[in-house]
Amino acid sequence: MEKIIVANLKMNLTFDEIKKYKNEIEKQEMRNFILAPSTLYLSYLKSDKYELCSQNGYYVDSGAFTGETSFKQLKDIVNYSLIGHSERRNNFNESYEIVSKKIDSCIENKIIPILCVGENEIEKKDNLQYDKVSKEIISALKNKKIDKIIIAYEPIWAMGTGNIPKYEDIENMCNYIKNIVKKYTKNYKIIYGGSVNSKNIIDICKVNGIDGVLIGGASNDPKNIIDMYNTVKKYVK
C-alpha cells in the first residue's frame, strides 16, 4: 500500500515562499501527499496534484467567533484536518472535550480527521504512553460514527528534537492503536510524526503497521519534501 505523507508547515513561510513552494510541488503528481499550510494559504494552494489539510478548525459552523475558521467553511477547500495536535493541546489549552467536538464537526462536514496523539517526556519516563494514547483516542471517538480517520502517533518528546523512538516501540504502539481504533471504524490509517527527516523516513515507513508519516520541520523546504516523497515512493512498497 502506498504510504501517506503529511507536511505540517505550522506557522511558517511567507506568501512569497508559499508561491515558490507551490511552484515546486506542482512540478510532479504528488499522490497521497497531504499539505497542511497556514489557514491563510489554503485557498491559494488548492491543486489537483496533492491534497490539502487544515491545521485546525472551529467546531461551531458560523457566528460571532472572531479569528476562528469553521470546519463548515473549510470543507470546500480541504479533505483533511489535523485535530488535537500537541501544540494546540499545550499552547491553546485544547481539552479532550474540545478535541471531541472538533471530531464531531469534521464528521458532519465530511472532513477526514487526522487525530494527533502521543505522550510527553514525563509520561514516557513513567511508562504511561499507552494510557495516554488510549485516553486521547477513546475520548475523541467514543459514541461516534466514524467513516474514515487517520491517527497520527506523535510522541511529544520526539517532536522538533531530532530524537525518535526505537522502531520496535513505534511498531508496538501502532498495534496498540490499531486494537483501539478498529472498534470505531474499519477505515483507518496510522501514521508516525516527530523528527521525521530525509535520513530516517525510509526506516520509519518500513515499520510494520505504519501507513505513513507526518513531517513538521523537515517539510518547510519544498525540495526536501519532494526528495523525501520520491525516496519513499521508490524504496517503500
Q: Which parts of this chain interact with ligand PGA (CB under 6 A)? A: 8, 154, 159-160, 193-196, 214-218
53 φ, ψ to 5°? -135, 140
Q: Which is nearer to ligand PGA, 73 or 224 (CB)?
A: 224
Q: Which is nearer to ligand PGA, 71 or 157 (CB)?
A: 157
Residues designated catalytic: 85, 154
Q: Which is nearer to ligand PGA, 30 or 215 (CB)?
A: 215
Q: Which is nearer to ligand PGA, 109 or 219 (CB)?
A: 219
With contact defined as beta carbons under 8 Å apart, do 206 and 166 qualify?
no
Angle between helices 15-25 and 222-235 (to 10 degrees): 30
How many Å apart are CA 1 and CA 20, to the nearest integer?
30
Q: Which residue is it, cell 457566528?
A: 63
Q: Which residues pair with 59 in a beta bridge?
A: none
Q: Which is nearer to ligand PGA, 37 or 217 (CB)?
A: 217
Distance of closest approach, residue 220 Cβ to ligand PGA, in angstroms: 9
Distance of closest approach, residue 186 Cβ to ligand PGA, in angstroms: 26
User: SS3 for 67-132, per residue?
Assistant: CCCEHHHHCCCCCEEEECCHHHHHHCCCCHHHHHHHHHHHHHCCCEEEEEECCCHHHHHCCCHHHH
Distance of closest approach, residue 154 Cβ to ligand PGA, in angstroms: 6
Distance of closest approach, residue 222 Cβ to ligand PGA, in angstroms: 16
Q: List the one residue out of 13, 3, 1 whose CA is nearest residue 219.
A: 13
Distance of closest approach, residue 60 Cβ to ligand PGA, in angstroms: 25
Other CB atoms within a 10 A radius of the CB of residue 233 amount to 16
